[in-house]
């Protein structure tokens, strides 16, 4: 009974700690989906090592498996909160400043240090637990252990998504997981034959459980939570750090300036009149009598600047109400405070959804958001979004948005990033102008000739309107908009105009160009590495790799172990596909709905629910299946079909524009991994039956080999899909490659069907 509870707790810990660590890593390392891809890759590679060579080496040499399991579970209990603390503190060790984008080396090193210990332990413990469960019918029992862990994982995901992250901060939630594991460690060692080991491990587990509970009751855990948060913002006076379902919002103060961050990314600050003036007056100076203004993101001083225009009324869209609450708390005494002005209507909703459903026409639409550094932000810089805001713009209206740039020199990477955004805007708006500088301001209009970059004209318009500004004045405009600057910008973008592509929701290429730009600041060779994988080249490499894999296995078809090898290959390609499906759903969810921080736990949980259900169903039916290999082939057809189904769902959900269908669609969308998980869950017990049939009854090696290959395939999928395939090729082409990969695997399985009859 103890091992059943232990495997169930192991599943809870695996997914719950993964969700907590991903959320913490997401905020500590600034919310980039590439960081999630690295984290998942490291987790899966660690799991592959833990379930493969590590498990084989130790489990075959240590006879007292219950004592080993208990010892490792105590270690797991310690590493869960320690990894949370590491996620908060490592950016200081790697000298990553507040709001500074970390280097690829620092990002990868942090992912390894944070995720590897738990991944290794969870995978090793699963193999060890499976070996302890195995009895008379090995293949069925392996499936039973797999189902137990998956069921625990599903429950852990549900508890974390709907309870822990709502009522506990990250560190207290981690200590709750520690307590569960310590109780399990004390229980499982009860049947240990060696009295000394049993007493030592039980006493340790019980004492540590008491220590965790005492620390929680006396406030020690909450104190550690607050101090570790403050340490992660070293150099700033932390006024507030709060979690909402949309992200972690931090308010800091430094030299009298109050700064707002969400998921580590800078939002806006007080005492920054230059940015506020440029953001507002560059688009609005061309309007005769602006009345209806739409502001998406970043209130603060921007609201006050807009209200300098007589008759202006603002729809201010901010997804997270916590940002508004904290702005009221910390900015109310500031002279520019405008949140409670009657002319400002605050809309706490997603910006894309508001634009899709609004019936109001606007004189100016100002998008005050960071660079498209994440897929969530990228969705406000795509052709689809520009088409949506064009439909809300009055005939003589202006759209304004800005991204980081360079005033005097544009590298090729910077030019490609700007040109991609320019071409995307020009594909929708007939008139697109760019104001050069350290921040590039894009101005879009339906009518050519409305926008002029003549500094004298802009200065005259401001004077005529009686708008008082501190920085955006004639002398500043003549320097910023000099002919030399404008000519240099035009020529720099012209040199790369044939090398870039338009940015789409499902092909977020500007997100990739921003990643390349970010990497160029850190390493020239890294930037060149990313740039090497242009669309045609990456597509050619991917297709060639699939065919090469196919022909290598085709060459081996005459060998005695072909069925075993091709079954492991299929398990690996399914593992790769399953994680690819999750990443596609994650990025698609970001593109369509934009609040992944809240839903990432549900997305992971739905996959584990499907995995557990599929594993449980197949484990029960396994003894009734006369031809496991034939059943495996039938399931492989589902793996081939799922990417097509997924792409159709993405297209369908993307077309939902009105409530309640939009919200219902978002809730359903997060559960799409349920189907993928169910398919994967069906395959694992079958793969073990086939593998055991081809090797005799080497149960421990079967568990180690199949679980390790599954995780290794997932590692390759997580790394390739998140870093290269998705941002460069986009979702549709990535789905096509997954169909091609799994079709090649299916053909190999069909070729091996004649040999398989002996393993039925």
Question: Strand, helix or coil at 697?
Answer: coil
Class of residue 650 by CB neighbours under 10 A (exposed 0-12, middle 13-18, buried 19+): buried
Confidence of residue 760 (pLDDT cuts 50, 70, 90): very low
User: Does residue 24 carry a pLDDT above 70?
Assistant: yes
Per-residue pLDDT of 631-676, as tens digits, reads 999 999 999 999 999 999 988 887 776 667 677 777 788 788 999 9
User: Does residue 208 carry a pLDDT above 80?
Assistant: no
Closest CA to 13 of 155, 186, 195: 155
Q: How many CB atoms lie under 10 A from the CB of residue 623?
A: 11
Q: Which residue has the higher pLDDT, 13 or 130?
A: 13
* pLDDT at position 136: 44
User: Does residue 272 carry a pLDDT above 60?
Assistant: yes
Closest CA to 146 of 391, 596, 154, 312: 154
Distances (CA, A) of 95 to 32, 88, 103, 586: 18, 13, 10, 30
* Owner of token pair 């044939």: 498
- Treating both helix axes as pointing N-terminal to C-terminal, what angle do 33-49 and 104-133 enclose, rounded to 10 degrees? 40
* Owner of token pair 């997060």: 670
Encoding tokens for residue 20? 């907590």
* pLDDT at position 697: 46
Strand partners, 402: 441
Q: How far is CA 97 from the centre of its chain?
A: 21
Angle, CA of 661, 663 and 665, to the nearest 5°: 65
* Average pLDDT value over all residues in the chain: 84
User: Does residue 574 carry a pLDDT above 70?
Assistant: yes
160: number of CA atoms within 13 Å, CB side? 37
Does domain 270-519 fall under CATH 3.40.50.150? My reply is yes
Q: What's the residue count for the chain?
A: 760
Strands (E), 405-447: 431-435, 439-445
- Edge-first strand listing for the sheet containing 265-269: 237-244, 247-254, 257-262, 265-269
Are the C-beta atoms of 85 and 113 separated by less than 8 Å? no
Least-confidence region, from 62-66, 258-262, 462-466? 62-66
Per-residue pLDDT of 48-75, as tens digits, reads 888 878 777 776 667 777 788 888 899 9
Are the C-beta atoms of 125 and 704 separated by less than 8 Å? no
pTM above 0.75, yes or no: yes
CA–CA gap between residue 355 and residue 505 (Å, rounded):
15
Strand partners, 482: none
Class of residue 229 by CB neighbours under 10 A (exposed 0-12, middle 13-18, buried 19+): middle
* pLDDT at position 590: 76
* pLDDT at position 652: 87
Backbone dihedral region of 623: left (phi > 0), alpha (psi from -120 to 50 degrees) or beta?
Answer: alpha
Per-residue pLDDT of 278-312, as tens digits, reads 999 999 999 999 999 999 988 778 999 999 999 99
* pLDDT at position 445: 97
Q: Which residue has the higher pLDDT, 486 or 759?
A: 486
Are the C-beta atoms of 507 and 704 separated by less than 8 Å? no
Architecture of domain 533-760: Up-down Bundle (1.20)
Contacting residues for 464 by C-beta, under 8 A, at least 6 apart: none
Q: Residue range 258-281: average pLDDT?
A: 88
* pLDDT at position 137: 52
Question: Strand, helix or coil at 481?
Answer: coil
274-297 exposure pattern, b = at least 16 Cβ within 10 A, e = fewer: ebbbbbbbbbbbbbeebebbbbbb
Per-residue pLDDT of 671-725, as tens digits, reads 889 999 999 889 888 888 887 765 544 555 666 677 788 888 888 888 888 877 8
* pLDDT at position 88: 86
Angle, CA of 80, 82 and 84, to the nearest 5°: 75
* pLDDT at position 368: 95
Architecture of domain 1-232: Up-down Bundle (1.20)
CA–CA gap between residue 296 and residue 306 (Å, rounded):
13
Which residues of the chain does CATH 1.20.1250 include? 1-232, 533-760
CA–CA gap between residue 658 and residue 495 (Å, rounded):
42
Per-residue pLDDT of 182-205, as tens digits, reads 888 888 776 666 665 555 666 777
Contacting residues for 455 by C-beta, under 8 A, at least 6 apart: 474, 477, 478, 480, 481, 482
Are the C-beta atoms of 286 and 457 separated by less than 8 Å? no
Which residues of the chain does CATH 3.40.50.150 include? 270-519
User: Does residue 399 carry a pLDDT above 90?
Assistant: yes
């Amino acid at each position: 009974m103890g091992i059943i509870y232990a495997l169930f707790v192991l599943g809870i810990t695996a997914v719950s700690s993964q969700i907590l660590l991903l959320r913490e890593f997401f905020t500590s390392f600034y919310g980039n989906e590439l960081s999630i891809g690295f984290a998942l890759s490291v987790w899966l590679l660690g799991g592959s090592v833990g379930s493969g060579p590590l498990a084989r080496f130790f489990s075959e040499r240590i006879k007292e498996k219950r004592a080993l399991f208990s010892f490792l579970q105590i270690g797991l209990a310690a590493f869960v909160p320690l990894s949370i603390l590491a996620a908060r503190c490592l950016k200081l060790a790697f000298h990553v400043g507040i709001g500074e984008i970390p280097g690829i080396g620092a990002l990868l090193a942090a992912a390894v240090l944070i995720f590897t210990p738990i991944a290794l332990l969870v995978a090793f413990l699963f193999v060890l637990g499976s070996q302890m469960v195995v009895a008379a019918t090995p293949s069925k029992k392996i499936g039973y252990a797999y189902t137990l862990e998956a069921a625990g994982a599903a429950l852990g995901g549900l508890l974390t998504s709907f309870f822990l992250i709502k009522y506990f901060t990250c560190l207290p939630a981690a200590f709750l997981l520690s307590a569960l594991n310590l109780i399990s460690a004390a229980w499982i060692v009860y049947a240990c034959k060696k009295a000394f080991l049993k007493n030592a491990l039980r006493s340790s587990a019980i004492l540590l459980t008491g220590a965790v509970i005492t620390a929680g009751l006396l406030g020690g855990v909450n104190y550690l939570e607050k101090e570790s948060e403050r340490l992660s913002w070293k150099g700033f006076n932390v006024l507030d750090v709060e979690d909402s379902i949309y992200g972690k919002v931090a308010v800091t103060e430094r030299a009298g300036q109050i700064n707002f961050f969400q998921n580590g990314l800078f939002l806006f600050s007080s005492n920054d009149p230059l940015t506020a003036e440029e953001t507002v007056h560059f688009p609005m100076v061309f309007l005769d009598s602006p009345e209806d203004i739409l502001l998406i993101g970043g209130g603060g001083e921007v609201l006050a600047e807009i209200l300098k225009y007589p008759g202006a009324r603002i729809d201010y869209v901010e997804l997270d109400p916590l940002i508004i609450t904290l702005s009221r708390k910390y900015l109310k005494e500031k002279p520019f405070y405008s949140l409670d002005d009657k002319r400002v209507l605050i809309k706490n909703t997603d910006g894309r959804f508001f634009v899709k459903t609004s019936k109001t026409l606007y004189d100016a639409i100002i998008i005050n958001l960071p660079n498209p550094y994440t897929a969530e932000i990228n969705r406000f810089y795509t052709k689809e979004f520009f088409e949506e805001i064009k439909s809300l713009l009055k005939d003589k209206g202006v759209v304004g948005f800005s991204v980081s740039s360079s005033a005097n020199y544009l590298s090729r990477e910077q030019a490609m990033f700007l040109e991609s955004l320019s071409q995307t805007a020009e594909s929708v708006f007939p008139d697109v102008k760019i104001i050069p500088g350290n921040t590039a301001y894009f101005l879009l209009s339906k009518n050519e000739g409305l926008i002029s970059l003549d500094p004298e004209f802009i200065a005259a318009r401001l004077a005529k309107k009686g708008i008082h500004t501190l920085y955006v004045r004639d002398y500043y405009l003549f320097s910023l908009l000099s002919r030399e600057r404008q000519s240099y910008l035009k020529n720099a973008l012209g040199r790369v105009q044939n090398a870039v592509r338009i940015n789409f929701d499902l092909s977020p290429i500007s997100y990739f160009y921003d990643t390349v730009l970010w990497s160029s600041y850190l390493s020239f060779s890294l930037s060149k590495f990313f740039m090497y994988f242009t669309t045609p080249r990456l597509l050619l490499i991917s297709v060639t790799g699939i065919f090469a894999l196919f022909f290598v296995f085709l060459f081996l078809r005459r060998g005695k172990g072909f069925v075993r090898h091709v079954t492991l290959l299929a398990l690996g390609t399914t593992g790769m596909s399953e994680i690819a499906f999750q990443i596609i759903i994650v990025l698609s969810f970001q593109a369509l709905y934009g609040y992944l921080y809240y839903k990432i736990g549900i997305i992971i949980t739905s996959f584990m629910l499907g995995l557990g259900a599929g594993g449980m169903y197949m484990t029960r039916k396994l003894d009734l299946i006369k031809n496991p290999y034939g059943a495996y082939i039938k399931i492989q057809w589902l793996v081939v079909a799922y990417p097509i189904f997924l792409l159709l769902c993405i297209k369908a959900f993307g077309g939902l524009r009105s409530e309640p269908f939009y919200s219902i669609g978002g809730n359903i969308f997060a559960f799409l991994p349920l189907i993928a998980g169910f398919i994967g869950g069906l395959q694992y017990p079958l793969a073990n039956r086939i593998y055991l049939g081809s090797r005799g009854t080497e149960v421990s090696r079967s568990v180690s080999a199949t679980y390790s290959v599954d995780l290794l395939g997932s590692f390759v999928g997580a790394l390739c899909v998140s870093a290269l395939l998705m941002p460069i090729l986009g979702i549709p082409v990535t789905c096509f490659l997954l169909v091609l990969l799994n079709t090649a695997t299916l053909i190999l399985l069909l070729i091996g069907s004649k040999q398989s009859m002996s393993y039925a």
